[in-house]
Amino acid sequence: MSSLSIEIFETPEAVVVKLEGEAGIRAADALDMPFRRIIAARPALVIFDLAGLLFAASLFLGTVVNLRRGIAYQGGKVQLAGAQPNIRELFQKTGLEELFEFVAVAPARADVLPSKTPQ
């Protein structure tokens, strides 16, 4: 059985969707509601952190394309970060690579806010 870990967080620059594990057919259902919420929030930038994604099914790709369509319709963009070679190849073979900007790494989650410098 495949499993997918999903973490969604905001940075000052973007909404980051960190995916780890395998995005099988059931992943599309699990991502539907979170993706609707992201689209409703109208972010300027969504970054998928794919560094830990080992496998992606075609139905999952369709879900990502639908999110991109919703974000682009509102004037935003979607980037894919840290894709493993097999995941990047999947986007190439399906012709979806031209829809996305690929970047090296996604922003990290900042659990601790930086302290202010005394003035």
Q: Which residues contact 20 (CB under 8 A, 6 or more apart)?
A: 4, 5, 7, 52, 53
- The whole-number pLDDT of residue 115 equals 40
The model's pTM is: 0.86
Domain ranges of the chain: 4-103
**Could you read off the pLDDT of 24-51 as tens digits, one per residue?**
888 888 898 999 999 999 999 999 999 9
> Nearest-CA neighbor of 109 among 39, 35, 23, 18?
18
- The whole-number pLDDT of residue 110 equals 66
Count other C-beta atoms under 10 Å from residue 52's C-beta: 14
**Could you read off the pLDDT of 46-105 as tens digits, one per residue?**
999 999 999 999 889 999 999 999 999 999 999 999 999 999 999 999 999 999 999 988
Query: For the structural domain made of 4-103, what CATH number should be given?
Result: 3.30.750.24
